[in-house]
């Protein structure tokens, strides 16, 4: 089953999406996040969806603006594709190979839940950046609260999946990460989520013998394919990622777990690292990035000019007085 959040005639609505694109509004649902919280698991959400499909239909998806399917309280973005890490390290950090620590656990960082945009929204160039990149990912959405989960338990806590595009200002990222804290403004302007939340049961037929979802991933810029990969090339399953995320803390309904960028052209920076040059070039206003994932759908966003950075002073070198 597929759920969407859309805007139509200045009204925001949650809906179940038919195969033909017809939207069936969910009565009295303030948001998909709230609906997930109140459902407490996949079964209850599917029951709500089935009841909704019996109600009168609303507009077609082509007549509305698709918003991010949900408003997550937290977004953890992992880095689970070895090929991506190898290429981007060469491009962004100027180093090759893999850090030994990467193999220890599915590392993640927290990114900005206020920067989400819809499946077809425009993407502004981040202030001060001239090296914009996309990142093709899939995200799992948590449907039930849990703490210190095992990977086996975590499967019952994942309610669905969506496409995740972690737009990245590579020039800002490269400079900021020299401080060894995180990507900061390099990842802070936009993240595409959409087009729908596809419930976990829909993707079970794609699961392989090792527990990975074998979904085809395709990235295109201005209609030209630049990357193709399989989601099953992840080094950890989403259940293992959810278990790690819950270690010593809680995951809650609506939390989003990004897979990290796929390999073989899942972003431009990986290709730059492999080729030793910025080919294809960084994204510029007017470029359109289209990402497609088997079983989930397609998102397509066009880059537009962004705002100029608000001037700030550099750090003041202090005398280090003491009281």
pLDDT in tens, 76-112: 999 999 999 998 888 777 777 899 999 999 999 999 9
Bridge-based pairing state of the strands 250-251 and 224-230: unpaired
pTM above 0.85, yes or no: yes
Q: Which residues contact 145 (CB under 8 A, 6 or more apart)?
A: 157, 250, 251, 252, 253
**Over the chain, what is the mean pLDDT?**
96
Locate 275 and state its tokens.
Answer: 């080729």
- Cβ atoms 245, 239 nearer than 8 A: no
Per-residue pLDDT at 72: 98
Per-residue pLDDT at 266: 97
Q: How many CA atoms lie within 13 A of 283 on its CB side?
A: 33
Angle at 89 between CA 86 and CA 93, to 5 degrees: 165
201 has pLDDT over 80: yes
130 has pLDDT over 80: yes
Per-residue pLDDT at 90: 84
Report the range of poorest mean pLDDT among 23-32, 71-80, 173-182.
173-182
pLDDT tens digits for range 9-18: 999 999 999 9
Give mean pLDDT, residues 241-257. 98
How many residues in total does the chain contain? 323
H-helix segments, the chain:
32-39, 42-53, 82-88, 151-154, 170-176, 200-203, 238-245, 268-275
SS3 at position 194: strand
Per-residue pLDDT at 287: 98
Question: Which band of pLDDT confidence, cut at 50, 70 and 90, is reported for residue 310?
Answer: very high
| Residue 183: DSSP 8-state | -
Angle at 198 between CA 16 and CA 304, to 5 degrees: 90
149 has pLDDT over 90: yes
Question: Which band of pLDDT confidence, cut at 50, 70 and 90, is reported for residue 54?
Answer: very high
Per-residue pLDDT at 109: 96
pLDDT tens digits for range 113-127: 999 999 999 999 999
User: Angle 42-53/32-39 helices, nearest 10 degrees?
Assistant: 120
């Amino acid at each position: 089953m597929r759920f969407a959040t859309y805007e139509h005639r200045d009204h925001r609505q949650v809906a179940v999406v038919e195969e033909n694109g017809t939207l069936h509004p969910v009565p009295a649902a303030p948001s998909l996040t709230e609906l997930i919280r109140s459902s407490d698991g996949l079964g209850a959400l599917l029951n709500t969806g089935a009841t909704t499909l019996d109600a009168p239909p609303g507009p077609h998806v082509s007549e509305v603006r698709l918003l991010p399917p949900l408003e997550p309280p937290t977004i953890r973005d992992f880095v689970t594709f070895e090929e991506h890490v190898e290429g981007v390290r060469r491009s962004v950090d100027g180093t090759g190979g893999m850090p030994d620590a990467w193999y220890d656990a599915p590392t993640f960082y927290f990114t900005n839940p206020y920067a989400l945009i819809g499946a077809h929204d425009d993407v502004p160039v981040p202030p001060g950046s001239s090296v914009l990149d996309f990142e093709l990912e899939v995200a799992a959405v948590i449907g039930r609260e849990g703490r210190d989960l095992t990977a086996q338990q975590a499967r019952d806590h994942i309610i669905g999946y969506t496409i995740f595009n972690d737009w990245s200002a590579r020039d800002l990222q490269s400079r900021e990460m020299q401080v060894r804290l995180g990507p900061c403004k390099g990842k802070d302007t936009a993240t595409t989520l959409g087009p729908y939340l596809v419930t976990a049961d829909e993707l079970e037929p794609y699961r392989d013998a090792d527990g990975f979802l074998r979904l085809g991933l395709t990235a295109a810029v201005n209609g030209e394919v630049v990357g193709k990969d399989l989601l099953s090339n992840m080094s950890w399953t989403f259940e293992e990622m959810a278990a790690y995320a819950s270690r010593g803390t809680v995951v809650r309904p609506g939390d989003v777990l990004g897979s990290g960028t796929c390999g073989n052209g899942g972003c431009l920076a990986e290709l730059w690292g492999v080729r030793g040059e910025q080919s294809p070039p960084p994204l510029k206003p007017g470029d359109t990035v289209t990402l497609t994932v088997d079983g989930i759908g397609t998102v397509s966003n066009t880059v537009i000019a962004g705002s100029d950075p608000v001037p700030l002073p550099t750090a003041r070198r202090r005398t280090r007085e003491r009281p």
